[in-house]
Structure 1
Amino acid sequence: MDRLTAETKIAELTKRIERHNRLYYEEDRPEISDQEYDQLVRDLQELEAKFPDLAKEDSPTRRVGGQPLPFFEKVVHKTPMLSLGNAFSEEDLRDFDRRVRQAVGNQTVRYVGELKIDGLAVSLRYDNGVFVQGATRGDGTTGEDITQNLRTIRSIPLRLTRPVSLEVRGEAYMSKGAFERLNKEREEKGEALFANPRNSAAGSLRQLDPKIAASRQLDTFIYGIGELQGETVESHSEGLALLEELGFAVNPERRVFDNIDDVIAFIASWTEKRPSLPYEIDGMVIKVDSYAQQEELGFTAKSPRWAIAYKFPAEEAVTVLEGIEVSVGRTGAVTPTALLKPVSLAGTTVKRASLHNEDIIREKGLLIGDHVVVKKAGDIIPEIIAVLPERRTGDETPFSMPTHCPECGSELVRLEDEVALRCINPMCPALIREGMIHFVSRTAMNIDGLGEKVVAQLFNDGIIHSVADLYYLHQQRDVLLGMERMGEKSVDNLLAAIEASKQNSLERVLFGLGIRLVGAKAARVIAEHFGTMDAIMQASEEEFTQIDEIGPKMAASLVNYFAQPQAKAVIERLKAAGVNMEYKGLRVEAGEDLPFAGKTIVLTGTLSQMSRQEAEEAIARLGGKVTGSVSKKTDLVIAGEKAGSKLEKAEKLGVAVMDEAGFLQVLEGNG
């Protein structure tokens, strides 16, 4: 076959394969069998092998999986992927509706109801209609680049029907049928079975070898637009229709409603019909349809005010409490865990349930040997909700919390105003080990390959004694190679991931240190305020409490932590290893003469010269803080085209307003 004929044949095969993908995943009316489809892909692969220069980046053959990756690169989402607030009852839904209607005044409100797919949230980016990047949600701000794995999913179009540039959000999932087939194959091979479809999907997409993801028969539903260029839509329902036109798989079980009563009826119908679906859902998502109203409603720190996730009532089961074990966490808190006779619950086998603290055991009147009622809170976390004393035989026994730490033997204490018992020995192996596990976790330093078992093995074998030792493991490569399941490739990948984590911004290091009372958000606020680790370490309680989000207890905890010689030594070793100790985000230094310094600014309407994200970054560079709603505390509103209600409110309140031309002038003058 000559080159010209091959080029024509490749184009024809590509077109046929893409057509059958659309018929199968979007229209649910396949015209050929899986075997016939696979033969078309094989024919295309053979031609591309003979004429490699004719193989395109968006060829359907790219779905079979490329070379394994050493680790996942980080991806910063241009628009954060926020989580949704939860509703568990009709009353919660009516409260949501009441808040929405109060915020938008006399406007008509319409809602879109959609199934909440139980999978892994993903972001897909397209440039001129071509799929260029896919990422996990991660912590909502930063995810992981899993483009190669997402390319293997046939319901994700590699090229859209129009050359549109956009970013979309969706859910990657594994169908019930695919999950059953996978577990059957694993059972035949003598491998451990997966617990549920959601875990299977998430685990598949986080495999460094994309061929594994390709073998797992994953699927997607796209449910929203994060960013859109060159097209205009005014509502969420219009956006979903556009996504279908572009070739995405959008869940067909969605409806638009004029009132909350119809939403509640819709949810009730799916509560009953849920088992009939070929995939798992764990609730319903309700969104305000109008994009203008969504913008007006804005966001809280964690979630949009214009959407809510209704969680289905938890499934319950009765089982036996066979025992209670205690464990020591990174803060020294001693937590009891119920050991249950295995029971099937909401699609998984439950063997354990957290009891939180000794008071919970006492309040519930738990005895070892009791029959108990177990449910999953939000369909996720198992908990004991009731004891069945009528089933007691007299053989049940009471449980008492230990008086000494089960790991180091130190006497446990109960701090003032606290329920939990704690081990306060700073050299307790459990505190050090759990602290290390926290340090490498996704929300902290996010080091791939350092899971709980690997960290525990490194610590138990005496290879590491503090988090700083992780950055010197390259000096012990031979020791690592001698560990169980650590071949050359695994060791090289692990060392590369540790090296990459040195570039993390300061807030991740600060959160990773596990300072009591300092969560991820507080760590970011502190890092942004002080800029460097040295400045944080030298700060007084008074300086910490000058930050709005930092109270006296957290301030005292920070000062006490940095006063410890062990803490100072660990930080010095981290510095010596090359770990970044500076805040990498946008920050305004005190005294800088910037046009927006200290101002609270609201963006509204459409800007013609830049995206909203670019505008927000520009405002931050010039010292301003962008918020989502107009109030008396707002200093300035920047209004683009079709500004709407926020502009009206600004004018009523007497807030200064700047148009896009004026905004651009400020930017040019401070270029």
Structure 2
Amino acid sequence: MVPVSDNQPEQTENTDLRRQWNELAEEVRSHREAYYNGEPSIPDADFDKLFQSLLRLEEQHPELAVPDSPTMEVGAPAPEESTFANVEHLQRLMSLDNVFDDDELAEWLERTPADAYLTELKVDGVSIDLVYRDGALERAATRGDGRVGEDVTANVRVIEDIPHQLSGEPPALIEVRGEIYIRPEDFPDINAQRVESGKPAFANPRNTAAGGLRQKNTADVRKRRLHFVAHGIGAREGFTPATQHEAYEALASWGLPTSRYTDLVTTAAEVRDKVRYWAEHRHDADFEMDGVVVKVNSLAEQRGHGSTSRAPRWAIAYKYPPEEVTTRLRNILVNVGRTGRVTPFAVMEPVFVSGSTVSMATLHNQTEVQRKGVLIGDTVVVRKAGEIIPEVLGPVVEKRDGTEQEFVFPTQCPACGATLAPQKEGDADWRCPNTRFCPAQLTARLTYLAGRGAFDIEALGEKGARDLIRSGVLEDESSLFDLDREKLTRTSVYTTKSGKVNATGEKLLEHLETARNTDLWRVLVALSIRHVGPTAARALASRYGSMETLRAAPVEDLADTDGVGMIIAESFTEWFSVDWHAQLAEAWAASGVTMADDRSDRAEQTLEGITVVVTGSLENFTRDGAKEAILARGGKASGSVSKRTDYVVVGENAGSKEDKARELGLRILTEAEFETLLENGSV
């Protein structure tokens, strides 16, 4: 008989909590990355719910709040494949905490007393950081992760609102924060011109503005009719305003556009009045807005309130409920995702809401369709949550005329015909079990492994993946690295009209050749093992060095790897227990894909077991370069300071992390000392 441990229920509970945290954190990271660097797939309001759920989970179980939790992060790192250079902000751009109702606002006002507040409209645009030196525009950068963004100076110079030279008597240095946006009245015209040129319409103004900043041709930037409004300051020299309001007046005097909807108030009651007013007048502004930002006016009082790891305590964003409209539900169809999850979505009569016309909306899963009680043919209430992806809230029952039909969830996968079922008892989601050959799942997996966090195969997108499958060139991803020109001639995406391999096809073959010689951690990510993202993959590859050693390692041994744990270790082991999964890795190996890192030139592991935080600007290291230097020597590069931090490397404009390190009595290093640490493992 196997003895039962007295603390087995507690261990099970802890494992379940950790699994819940991992899944929620992974989802938050994924959606945050899509919001800042791609196309969001869920509404802003839904992301807010996910983020708030993660916050509550960590508040209830503080042991889950690890330093690299998404709740500690700001924005998202600049895309690795970006054609724009990465630049470090002079002073960190922070995020804002949110409140969603009057009670939460009242609680914030009670714990954040001030002589005066500023109320500002929360612009639904794209954050930008402008650096003016001696009055001249020196640099413009996107938010990125708050410390490092993309240099988009050339594109910003064609935005008419942004002066190249400040007027009056500007200071020696001023870092201006603001928002790039598209006016609601301009957006329909921009879309009309785009459709006339044979291109699809843009989804919404915010994404259109974000895409505009990343155009390679400044002429294309001009077509987006971008505007700018300043809403903050960062680093400065020769400028010492006493209040936020004084700073805004100075910015305006130098020729920078500031919001005419900013009001100076002195009581909490006046703050609430402004919030209520703009809830009724949200379409009166010159830009899309989704809330009101409240800031303590005095800069001295701001410093007194301080900041968390990601947001100032002296400011808060009151976010309004998403807008709602009604339209007719024409049909309900389903989509199959990368993991086999089958998701119903609504096909509606096009309706204009929150700045754009929508014709499809999410319905989440079949249980949700039943819970909401919607029928095909219903008049439904649609919410444009977060101004991004619409959601069907429910039917307008009194408008039914008897012609409506109940939605019947399919029993077979629409992509491959396999019988659908929940993966395990109690699951709300139904999945397609044909994980290996289902065209929809395979298309999604191919697109994923081609991403920059895996093989980084630029020429393999969703359209190309679908073509490779449809043409029969690929049965699954195991033969991806066996593609050649002869096989590509059977496709349409990768060939010319005469049937020869085109430039995209040649690029695909070139990228596949490069991908064969990538790092082991990228191969691990490309395998689509659940929970094994770049962080865990790096840790496993660094410790074991080869796929063979990894597969032979006991699950307990894998779990002991720093940053892995039992959930990821079990997921890794279970994945390889599936025959075709193991055959996939072996097929890649046979095709020349590297399955072991070359450790002949591997840096000495001087930092094994050591956690290092780098803050501020270093002279000889970029932000990513410093992180790579730490990881390459076996250390952990953390993004936040805690009692578990061994060293904090401080550069120029270090900010709050240096303050926290001193409060905790941690060892603080200069850049020269950091270089000594990298070499010797001690200082």
On whether the aligned pair clears a TM of 0.5, the verdict is yes
Q: Give runs of aligned pairs for residues 150-299 of structure 1, distance below 5 A.
A: 150-158=156-164, 170-186=178-194, 192-224=200-232, 248-255=256-263, 261-286=269-294, 290=299, 293=303, 296-299=306-309
Once the two structures are TM-superposed, the CA of residue 371 in structure 1 deviates from its matched residue by 2.1
Q: Indicate if the aligned counterparts of 1:374 and 1:382 stay in contact, CA closer than 8 A.
A: yes
Q: 1:136 to 1:492 in 2, by over 3 A?
A: farther
Q: Which residue of 1 aligns with 2:351?
A: 343
Q: Which amino acid aligns with 1:427?
A: F
Any unmatched runs of 5+ in structure 1? 1-70, 102-106
3-state SS of the aligned residue for 2:281? helix
1:114 aligns with 2:116: no
User: Which range is displaced more, 327-336 or 87-96?
Assistant: 87-96
Q: Indicate if the aligned counterparts of 2:443 and 2:462 stay in contact, CA closer than 8 A.
A: no
Over residues 547-601 of structure 1, what are the superposed CA-to-partner deviations in whole Å (9 max), with x where a residue is unaligned? 57656444322222244454455556767667898799xx9987x368xx53577
Q: Give runs of aligned pairs for residues 183-582 of structure 1, distance below 5 A.
A: 183-186=191-194, 192-224=200-232, 248-255=256-263, 261-286=269-294, 290=299, 293=303, 296-299=306-309, 308-416=316-424, 417-425=426-434, 426-441=436-451, 450-465=460-475, 475=485, 480-482=494-496, 510-518=524-532, 537=551, 539-546=553-560, 550=564, 552-564=566-578, 566-568=580-582, 570-571=584-585
Q: Which residue of 2 aligns with 1:24?
A: none
Once the two structures are TM-superposed, the CA of residue 159 in structure 1 deviates from its matched residue by 5.7
Q: Indicate if the aligned counterparts of 2:641 and 2:660 stay in contact, CA closer than 8 A.
A: no
Q: Give runs of aligned pairs for residues 56-95 of structure 1, distance below 5 A.
A: 72-73=82-83, 75-76=85-86, 78=88, 84-95=96-107
Aligned mates of 2:158, 2:277 — CA distance in 1:
34
Q: Which residue of 1 aligns with 2:26?
A: none
Q: How large is the RMSD of aligned CA atoms in angstroms?
A: 5.3
Once the two structures are TM-superposed, the CA of residue 204 in structure 1 deviates from its matched residue by 3.2
Once the two structures are TM-superposed, the CA of residue 313 in structure 1 deviates from its matched residue by 2.0
User: Which range is displaced more, 210-219 or 566-575?
Assistant: 566-575
Once the two structures are TM-superposed, the CA of residue 542 in structure 1 deviates from its matched residue by 2.1
Once the two structures are TM-superposed, the CA of residue 323 in structure 1 deviates from its matched residue by 1.5
3-state SS of the aligned residue for 2:557? helix
Q: Which amino acid aligns with 1:312?
A: Y
Q: Indicate if the aligned counterparts of 1:616 and 1:626 stay in contact, CA closer than 8 A.
A: no
Q: 1:306 to 1:539 in 2, by over 3 A?
A: farther
Over residues 55-79 of structure 1, what are the superposed CA-to-partner deviations in whole Å (9 max), with x where a residue is unaligned? xxxxxxxxxxxxxxxx842654646
Q: Which amino acid aligns with 1:92?
A: E
Once the two structures are TM-superposed, the CA of residue 360 in structure 1 deviates from its matched residue by 0.7
Q: Indicate if the aligned counterparts of 1:223 and 1:250 stay in contact, CA closer than 8 A.
A: yes
Once the two structures are TM-superposed, the CA of residue 120 in structure 1 deviates from its matched residue by 3.1
Over residues 520-563 of structure 1, what are the superposed CA-to-partner deviations in whole Å (9 max), with x where a residue is unaligned? 66656666776776665555432343357656444322222244
Aligned residue pairs, count: 582
Over residues 361-417 of structure 1, what are the superposed CA-to-partner deviations in whole Å (9 max), with x where a residue is unaligned? 121222222222111222322112222222222222222222222222222221224
Q: Indicate if the aligned counterparts of 1:318 and 1:372 stay in contact, CA closer than 8 A.
A: yes
Q: Which amino acid aligns with 2:186?
A: A
Aligned-pair identity in percent equals 33
User: Which range is displaced more, 532-541 or 88-97?
Assistant: 532-541
Over residues 295-321 of structure 1, what are the superposed CA-to-partner deviations in whole Å (9 max), with x where a residue is unaligned? 953325xx6666544322211112222
Over residues 481-505 of structure 1, what are the superposed CA-to-partner deviations in whole Å (9 max), with x where a residue is unaligned? 4279999676677778878888987
Q: 1:189 to 1:536 in 2, by over 3 A?
A: same
Aligned mates of 1:484, 1:377 — CA distance in 2:
47
Q: 1:148 to 1:656 in 2, by over 3 A?
A: closer
Q: Indicate if the aligned counterparts of 1:515 and 1:558 stay in contact, CA closer than 8 A.
A: yes
Aligned mates of 1:278, 1:475 — CA distance in 2:
53
Q: Indicate if the aligned counterparts of 1:284 and 1:310 stay in contact, CA closer than 8 A.
A: yes
Q: 1:234 to 1:318 in 2, by over 3 A?
A: same
Once the two structures are TM-superposed, the CA of residue 280 in structure 1 deviates from its matched residue by 1.7
Aligned mates of 2:448, 2:651 — CA distance in 1:
44
Q: Which residue of 2 aligns with 1:21?
A: none
3-state SS of the aligned residue for 1:297? coil
User: Which range is displaced more, 428-437 or 449-458?
Assistant: 449-458
Q: 1:372 to 1:618 in 2, by over 3 A?
A: closer
3-state SS of the aligned residue for 2:447? helix
Q: Which residue of 2 aligns with 1:25?
A: none
Q: 1:152 to 1:346 in 2, by over 3 A?
A: same
Aligned mates of 1:668, 1:636 — CA distance in 2:
12
Q: 1:589 to 1:361 in 2, by over 3 A?
A: farther
Aligned mates of 1:305, 1:543 — CA distance in 2:
42
Once the two structures are TM-superposed, the CA of residue 433 in structure 1 deviates from its matched residue by 0.7
Q: Indicate if the aligned counterparts of 2:647 and 2:668 stay in contact, CA closer than 8 A.
A: no
Q: 1:329 to 1:670 in 2, by over 3 A?
A: closer
Q: Which amino acid aligns with 1:90?
A: D
Aligned mates of 1:180, 1:406 — CA distance in 2:
35
Q: Indicate if the aligned counterparts of 2:437 and 2:476 stay in contact, CA closer than 8 A.
A: no
Q: 1:598 to 1:249 in 2, by over 3 A?
A: same
3-state SS of the aligned residue for 2:280? helix
Q: Which amino acid aligns with 2:120?
A: E
Q: Indicate if the aligned counterparts of 2:361 and 2:390 stay in contact, CA closer than 8 A.
A: yes
Aligned mates of 2:284, 2:555 — CA distance in 1:
58
3-state SS of the aligned residue for 2:469? helix
Q: 1:176 to 1:327 in 2, by over 3 A?
A: closer
Aligned mates of 2:149, 2:660 — CA distance in 1:
36
3-state SS of the aligned residue for 2:186? helix
Q: Which amino acid aligns with 1:216?
A: R
Q: Give the structure-1-normalised TM-score.
A: 0.68
Q: 1:608 to 1:274 in 2, by over 3 A?
A: same
3-state SS of the aligned residue for 1:363? helix
Q: Which amino acid aligns with 1:431?
A: Q
3-state SS of the aligned residue for 1:395? coil
Once the two structures are TM-superposed, the CA of residue 329 in structure 1 deviates from its matched residue by 0.6
